[in-house]
Amino acid sequence: MKITEEELIPNLLKAKAGNQIAFSNLLDTFWNDVYGFLLVRTENENDAEDLTIQTFSKAFDKINTYDMSYKFKTWLITIAKNLHVDLFRKRKKSVLENMNYGNDDAIKVLDDAPTIEDQLIIDQNLANLLHDIKKLKPAYQKIINLRYFNELSYADIATELNEPMNSVKVKLLRAKKLLAEIIKTKGKS
């Protein structure tokens, strides 16, 4: 079901006032539009997802600058496009620098999936939860681990991940929604 701009106005006003539920509703409403736009441009699921998270983080951070005389989706897509252009420029610059310096160690693959989880299994419910968490992408596993198992604040997680706090909030929100979908799907089977 498509939502009209008029139906969005209450959520936008609440979001401008800092209401987290309104942010969540906006994220749910526009996630697929922004992600789809970025997936076509990047042709890479991980880049599209990262840029989508950055888009919502930036949008929520700058929500007070949004002019409600324009469509919200257009504003989000503009932010997404600009972030994609920035990423492209940064990568192009990095490739050129690495070519100039002949740096063979330019690309290293890091496995940042949490391994502490196996030690935390105390009972069957926790084991099932951890099993479901491991179905998430490593970035989502890590943020859930930091928030709920290490009990870090949003500010501490932002410092740990070297990301803006709004980005951490959006990423955690998305991780929880994906985890809930996994659990709900498992419950139906």
Instruction: Quote the pTM value.
Output: 0.59
Residues 54 and 138 in one domain: no
For position 110, what pLDDT does the model report? 42
CB atoms within 10 A of CB 31: 19
Which tens digit of pLDDT belongs to each residue from 163-177?
Answer: 888 788 888 888 888
Which tens digit of pLDDT belongs to each residue from 6-36?
Answer: 778 888 888 888 888 888 888 888 999 999 9
Residue 108 lies in a domain: no
DSSP-derived 3-state class of residue 125:
helix
Tally of domains in the chain: 2
CATH code at 76? 1.10.1740.10
Which tens digit of pLDDT belongs to each residue from 86-128?
Answer: 888 887 777 666 665 544 444 444 444 433 443 333 445 666 7
Residues 96 and 121 in one domain: no
Residues 14 and 47 in one domain: yes
- If you average pLDDT over each of 24-28, 42-46, 92-96, 139-143, which comes out highest? 139-143
Residue 140 lies in a domain: yes
Residues 137 and 182 in one domain: yes
For position 104, what pLDDT does the model report? 47
For position 178, what pLDDT does the model report? 85
Span 134-139, mean pLDDT? 88
Residue 111 lies in a domain: no
For position 37, what pLDDT does the model report? 92
For position 34, what pLDDT does the model report? 92
Residue 76 lies in a domain: yes
Residues 120 and 63 in one domain: no
Residues 97 and 121 in one domain: no
Between the two ends of the chain, the Cα-to-Cα distance in Å is 26
For position 38, what pLDDT does the model report? 92
State residue 27 phi and psi, 5-degree precision. Answer: -60, -50
Rounded-to-integer distance, Cα 1 and Cα 173, Å:
22
Look at the block and give the residue holding tokens 């932002």: 158
pLDDT beyond 90 at 148 = no
Residues 97 and 36 in one domain: yes
Residue 47 lies in a domain: yes
Residues 181 and 120 in one domain: yes
Q: Any idea what DSSP says for residue 150? A: S
Residue 11 lies in a domain: yes
Residues 84 and 121 in one domain: no
CATH code at 139? 1.10.10.10
For position 95, what pLDDT does the model report? 67
Span 44-51, mean pLDDT? 86
Residue 153 lies in a domain: yes
Q: What is the DSSP string of 25-65?
A: HHHHHHHHHHHHHHHHHH--HHHHHHHHHHHHHHHHHTGGG
Residue 37 lies in a domain: yes
- The percent of residues in the chain predicted with pLDDT above 90, rounded, is 12
- For residue 91, give its domain range: 5-101
